[in-house]
Amino acid sequence: MLWSSMEFKQLNLSNELIENLNSLGFTAMTPIQEESLPVILEGADIIGQAKTGSGKTAAFGLGVLNSLNLKSSRPQSLILCPTRELADQVAKEIRRLARLTSNVKVTTICGGTSEYHQIRSLAHGSHIIVGTPGRVLKFLKDDHFDISEITSLVLDEADRMLDMGFYDPIREIETFLPLEGRQTLLFSATYPDEIMELSSALQNAPKFVKVDSEHEENSIEQIFFELNSHKEKLELLSKLLAKYNPESTVVFCKTKRTCDEVADFLKKEQISALAIHGDHEQKDRTLALSKFSNRSCLVLVATDVAARGIDVKDLGLVVNFDISTDPEVHVHRIGRTGRIGKEGLALSLFISKELYKVEAIEDYTDTAAKITHIDEFIEADTPYSMIPPMTTIYISGGKKDKIRPGDIVGAIIGTSGIAAEDIGDINVMNILSYVAVSSDKVQDVINGLSNGKIKKRRFRIGLA
């Protein structure tokens, strides 16, 4: 189905949303959007099953935006996500979808950051709240926002929220919300029994929408590498990166300790890599994700939970350093490459006694695994480099200083003289901003901003 004005009007989307979608260059609905958006706009509860990267955020985001009463400044939609990273990603996408709609306010409420700033933001009014269950429940108990006008509850990646132990907090959050006239949208990549139990508790006659949660046969090339022992994994990983030379890679590990060991090894091999897991402070996780998404870090080594919310376009490679015992988790991991019809590559390492895990994946996907023994592996015969094309700098100012991305771009060009195409992603947060700059121009930018001003003010500048 094409995203044309005719179809928008048939769906009864507002004129502002139609204009915005056209300006963003939307040309076709993804399968989950085509199946779920009409149901959402009808006001029905929905259980949506789709893989990561399928476009479900736009589906529920458009439904939420289309139902807002902008004459009121009270919250009207609550969106729950398993991690702060995913909540930030969802909030960013909704703001993008609403950029031509005047005065839509989206507030993120998550742990790991200042409650004070979030409370102040809520005090100025908010239409949509995106948050993690723990912080949202605390704010509800402390009466920090008015729930009397909330008409929609969205659970994004509900399976992961349950994996993280949020079943009871979600049920408790629901007791604070209005029941009459509320629409509840539940999205999940997998459907264990607990999901259906949660649905029966929260939803009213939901419509089930499912698109193929397994990946198209040719969208992701999978290769399983059989090793004799765990000791061979690090050396093989380095050789795999040399052979395939991807632009960006996510490496999945089973434990936090393994994540750190793999990242440290890659750094010694002169490969740009960062680890991300639950033991890292939130500011460090935010910086790592910012660097990875803006291409100033090329390899992200992560546990499954910490990797929630990673959204990188054209992710070249996924490596399962530790193969998962759960086939659904395996499919979810590799789904971060080859998104929405694009080709991707997934490499999985396993020792001989773990063959049963590969066989379980074969049974689950109904596909024969392509297995290469380490002794048969052919190394790359050409030199390679994994030096990132971009470098991230920090600016000691953010939203509280009323800084916008356009202000930063203007200041960089004005003080350093570099071209706009040498400036990458800009992430403006409450008291800090991260900016990606072409690596060969970064010193020019630091020197220029250090001697110049942003919005007539001086800020500290440095390498992030």
Express each pLDDT in 22-53 by its tens digit. 666 666 778 888 889 889 999 999 999 876 66
Predicted model pTM:
0.68
407 phi, psi to nearest 5 deg: -65, -40
| Residue boundaries of the structural domains of the chain | 5-210, 220-376, 390-463
Buried b (16+ CB within 10 A) or exposed e, 226-247: bbeeeeebbebbbbbbbbbbbe
Q: What is the CATH number of domain 5-210?
A: 3.40.50.300
Cα–Cα distances (Å) from 39 to 48, 60, 109, in that order, read 10, 10, 28
DSSP-assigned beta bridge partners for residue 131: 80, 109
Q: What is the CATH number of domain 220-376?
A: 3.40.50.300
Residue 218 pLDDT: 44
pLDDT in tens, 289-314: 889 988 999 999 998 876 665 666 67
CA distance 180 to 175: 12
Residue 228 pLDDT: 94
The CA-based dihedral angle spanning residues 164, 166, 168, 169, taken in that order and rounded to the nearest 10 degrees: 150
Q: Judge contact between 298 and 247, C-beta under 8 A.
A: yes
Residue 312 pLDDT: 67
The answer on pLDDT for 322 being more than 70 is yes
Binning pLDDT at 50, 70 and 90, where does residue 117 land? confident
CA distance 335 to 51: 7
Q: Helix 15-23 and helix 56-66: axis angle, to 10°?
A: 150
Q: Do 390-463 and 220-376 fall under one CATH topology?
A: no
Q: Look at residues 233, 179, 226 and name the one whose alpha carbon lies nearest to residue 201.
A: 179
Residue 382 pLDDT: 76
Percentage above 70 pLDDT, the chain: 90
Residue 215 pLDDT: 41
Side chain identity at 207, as an amino acid letter? K
Q: Judge contact between 140 and 176, C-beta under 8 A.
A: yes
Q: How many CA atoms lie within 13 A of 189 on its CB side?
A: 24
Q: What is the CATH number of domain 390-463?
A: 3.30.70.330
Residue 27 pLDDT: 65
How is residue 287 written in tokens? 């910086």
pLDDT in tens, 194-252: 888 999 999 999 999 987 644 444 488 999 999 999 999 999 999 999 999 898 999 99
Residue 316 pLDDT: 87
Residue 111 pLDDT: 84
Cα–Cα distances (Å) from 426 to 285, 408, 434, 437, in that order, read 16, 8, 6, 9
DSSP-assigned beta bridge partners for residue 220: 344
CA distance 72 to 75: 8
Residue 400 pLDDT: 87
Average pLDDT value for the chain: 87
Residue 335 pLDDT: 81
